[in-house]
A and B are shown apart, each in its own frame.
Chain A
Amino acid sequence: MLMQLTLGGLSQGMIYALIALSLTVVYRSTTVVNFGHGDFVMAGAFLSYVLVVLAGVAFLPAAVLAMIAMFVLGVLFNRGLIRPVRGGPHIGLALMCIAAGYVLRGIARMVWGREVLPMPAVFDMQPIFLGNLVITGDAVFIIGTVLVLLLILFGLLAMTDLGKMIQAVYQSPRGARLIGLNVDRFNDFSWGIGAALGALGGILVAPVSLLHPDLGASFLIKGFAAMTLGGFGSLGGAVLGGVLLGLAEQYAGAYLDSALIEITAYVVIVAVLFIRPQGLFGRKAVVKV
């Protein structure tokens, strides 16, 4: 049972990791937390649904197209709606993100409001039985895809100057501008990547969760919990936090009470912030006065 829970937790955790990672990418380079991210996740899933089921595109190209579309949407969102309110109160940005999420959800509701749609399984594979342990196609597919993606992403960060640029923009946008970085374009790029990664989370989860306009609602808080656990702003921490949260949910649900799955993320947030506010890898979160 422990092994099975671990596997289930890993495959859920990979989705959380992806969502936490996409939130962190945006936060690191723009210091904005996208409070509407759940709906970006949902929008990615619906885009791929439209392409696969309604336009007959194969899954893989559809997923890539949906991610590109969400990249563009992320860039447009930054340019059209985030930039104009940057001069206002900082938390106006949080509300702007929520408002954008509402618009996305509103569109989905308008078109598919009364439906719960099935998304065809991508990776139809007979489950493998190892004794009592069942390994399903979904789990293999989700874990595999996210691992490959993480390798590429962290490889890029390690081998290029991208990581340093992100760090520079995060620490001081003005300083980054001084050394010749185009911060505006950099922010566009981060929003695009964040939206595309979030969309991928949606695309991966949709065959499991089914499609409905409220699909993304629960993912935002899981992303937050994963980020908090790993250390806010740490890319590696976001991934580890996501995986740990996935595992914690399964263990709490099976060994304690299934009613606790719902609040595992919240308990993690409260506990981490009170006990070790910097998370596993983050910098100090508390302010000393």
Chain B
Amino acid sequence: MDCLEIKDLTVAIQGQRILDGLSLVVPKGEVHAIMGPNGSGKSTLAKVLAGHEDYEVLSGQVLMDGQDLLQMEVDQRSRAGFFLAFQYPYEIPGVSNANFLREAVRARLGSGEDLDAVAFYKRLYGLMDELGIDRKFTARSVNEGFSGGEKKRNEILQMAILEPFYAVLDETDSGLDIDALRVVAEGVNRMRSPHRGFLLITHYQRLLNYIEPDFIHVLAGGKIVRTGGKELALELEETGYDWIKEGALATA
């Protein structure tokens, strides 16, 4: 029960099939990585799990701790404990980071409950310090004028505040220099817990030097074509993804 279970998921966008019978189980307490060449459907998986409207689920099921995730609204999924760190986080002009985070936290309170503002800020500032985010960022508009690295750190901050049960990180390492990458990785590592499952989506092995996964899956042609331990990443780093294409062609 305590897992994010993707069963035989087939998804299309504008009539084109992107995921084709993908199955994957991420139990709580584990970190899984999905690697794969460009266009293999990695980001599609992330968006579908979050509930983006552009994608059409043709068949399959996703269960989050037994709940039918695909039947839930985007915001319901979030409140139930699903988090997506965006590859390209959006800007929200005029809405301060603090305000946005507060609204997100408040959305999780029961009726009649109210946010303890003092405790909230204490926690927020603590997490910002850990992530090396200047406290002045609380007053800045969400992601507006942020550098690539700042945006990604902000995603991790949001994740840390919201404490999801399952977090999908979509190419969080892209566009990061090595220092920023380290900070982001530390942020994720601190959140590793028996009560939380992670799915890292990445093109490069680099991120996995800092966040050590329990399992690595290779996505190609819309399905998982290979699963292994962390050593698989090193192998991919050496051999690249060409073998998959050949292999996929061979089995086709």
Chains A and B form a bound pair: no
Residues of chain A at the chain B interface (Cβ within 8 Å): none
Residues of chain B at the chain A interface (Cβ within 8 Å): none
